[in-house]
Amino acid sequence: MPTIGIMHSGSQGKHDAQIKAFKDGLEWGGAAPGAPVTIAGPLYADDDPAKLDMIAAELVNSDKADVLVAAGGSMSCEAAKKATATSRKPVVFTSVANPTRPAANMTGICARTSELDSVRLSLLRELLPGEKKFGALLNPSRFNYAIHKDHLSNAATLLGLQAPDYKDINSTDGKADADIDRAFADWASRDCAGVLVTADPLFNNHRERVIRAAGAPNNIPAIYQWREFAEDGGLMSYGPNLITAYMLAGTYVGRILNGTAIKDLPVLPLDDLELVINLKTAKALGLDVPPTLLARADLVVG
Can you state the angle between helices 74-83 and 49-61, rounded to 10 degrees?
A: 40
Query: pLDDT band at 245, cuts 50/70/90?
Result: very high
Specify the CATH class of 3-112+240-269 in words: alpha beta
pLDDT over 70 at 32, yes or no: no
pLDDT at position 101, please?
92
Asked if residue 172 has pLDDT above 80, the reply is no
Quick one: average pLDDT of 138-156? Answer: 89
DSSP the chain: --EEEEEESS-TTSSHHHHHHHHHHHHHTT--TT-S-EEEEEEE-TT-HHHHHHHHHHHHHTT--SEEEEESSHHHHHHHHHHTTTT---EEEEEES--S-SSTTEEEEE---GGGHHHHHHHHHHHSTT---EEEEE-TTSTTHHHHHHHHHHHHHHTT-PPPEEEE--SSSS-HHHHHHHHHHHHHHTT--EEEE-S-HHHHHTHHHHHHHHSTTT---EEESSHHHHHTT-SEEEE--HHHHHHHHHHHHHHHHTT--GGGS--EE----EEEEEHHHHHHTT----HHHHHH-SEEE-
Of the candidates 253, 243, 217, 299, the one whose C-alpha atom is nearest the C-alpha of residue 3 is 253
Domain ranges of the chain: 3-112+240-269, 114-239+274-301
Residue 87 has pLDDT above 80, yes or no: yes
For residue 14, what pLDDT band results from cuts at 50, 70 and 90?
confident
Whether 93 contacts 249, CB under 8 Å: yes
pLDDT at residue 188 is higher than 90: yes
Give pLDDT, residue 30: 67
Residue 72 CB neighbour total at 10 angstroms: 29
Average pLDDT value for the chain: 90
* CA separation for the pair 159, 157 (Å, rounded): 5
- State the average pLDDT over residues 40-59: 90
Indicate whether 40 pLDDT > 60. Answer: yes
Query: CA 219, 223, 229, 231 torsion: positive or negative?
Result: positive
Residues near 21 by Cβ (< 8 Å), separated by ≥ 6? Answer: 243, 244, 246, 247, 250
pLDDT over 70 at 271, yes or no:
yes
Homologous superfamily (CATH) for 114-239+274-301: Response regulator (3.40.50.2300)
Q: Which residue has the higher pLDDT, 75 or 158?
A: 158
- Give the mean model confidence (pLDDT) for residues 89-113: 90
Query: What was the pLDDT predicted at 35?
Result: 58
Indicate the pLDDT class of residue 249, thresholds 50, 70 and 90.
very high
pLDDT surpasses 60 at 191: yes
The rounded distance, in Å, linking the Cα atoms of 171 and 141 is: 7
Average of pLDDT values for 248-260? 92
At residue 31 the predicted structure's pLDDT band, cuts being 50, 70 and 90, is low
Q: Which of 74-83, 212-221, 275-284 has the lowest mean pLDDT?
A: 74-83
100 vs 103: CA distance, rounded Å: 9
Q: Residue 246: is it exposed, middle or buried by C-beta count within 10 angstroms (0-12/13-18/19+)?
A: buried
- Of the listed ranges 91-95, 97-101, 157-161, 280-284, the one predicted with least confidence: 97-101
Q: What's the whole-number mean pLDDT along residues 93-122?
A: 89
Q: How large is the average pLDDT for residues 272-284?
A: 95
Percentage of the chain exceeding pLDDT 90: 69
Which pLDDT score, from 0 to 100, does residue 11 have? 84
pLDDT at 137: 96
Domain 3-112+240-269 matches domain 114-239+274-301 at the CATH topology level: yes
What residue type is 238 in one-letter code? Y
Residue 62 has pLDDT above 90, yes or no: no
